[in-house]
Structure 1
Amino acid sequence: MSDALFFDTLQQGLWAAVMVSAPILAAALVVGLAIGLIQALTSVQEMTLTFVPKMAAMLAVFWVSMGFMTLTLGNYFRGTLLPLIAGG
């Protein structure tokens, strides 16, 4: 395997990882900012107030985007890794 092929495969793998993790991280960011704003406005500084809604939102987004994540990883595997394995 040449260096160019290795780095191209690595780049595609990292891009697939970014695409798979982006919905969950975006949900955590949005919910965290919203809860932080609410805490700043009301002066309520409870630590569990940020954790529980963030986990619930991440779980909901994971449930909704599971098909997209599976499709993305399957396309990466079928389009990039299987030809490398089959080709030797």
Structure 2
Amino acid sequence: MSEADALGIVQQAIWLAIVLAGPVVGSAMIIGVGVAFFQALTQVQEMTLTFVPKIIAGFFIILLTGNYSGALLKVFTEQLFLRIATGFK
């Protein structure tokens, strides 16, 4: 295994982590901005109000994108095992 092989694997793994976390992080950001706007309008400064909607939205996003995320992770793992079996040729 050369340095280029290792760098390629790390690059693919980082990109996969970004793609898998993207929907959950994006929805949490959108919900966070909406809750902050609501708190600014109503002057309700409840700390737990920011966390509960993010957790609920994250749960539903994981339910919606779970199959796609699992399929991406499966393909990456199969490619990695195949490269290990063939000796990175």
- Alignment of 1:28 with 2:28, yes or no, is yes
Q: CA deviation at 1:28?
A: 0.6
Unaligned runs of 5+ in 1: none
Q: Secondary structure at the match of 1:77?
A: helix
Q: CA deviation at 1:85?
A: 1.7
* 1:75 matched residue in structure 2: 75
Q: Distance in 2 between matches of 1:44 and 1:4?
A: 53
- Over the aligned positions, Cα root-mean-square deviation in angstroms equals 0.9
* 2:56 matched residue in structure 1: 56
Higher helix share: 1
Please give the TM-score of this superposition, normalised by the length of structure 1.
0.94
Tell me the number of residue pairs that the alignment of Structure 1 and Structure 2 aligns.
Answer: 87
Q: Give the aligned residue type for 2:51.
A: F
Q: Give the aligned residue type for 1:86.
A: A
Q: Distance in 2 between matches of 1:67 and 1:9?
A: 23
* 1:6 matched residue in structure 2: 6
Q: Share of identical aligned residues, percent?
A: 36
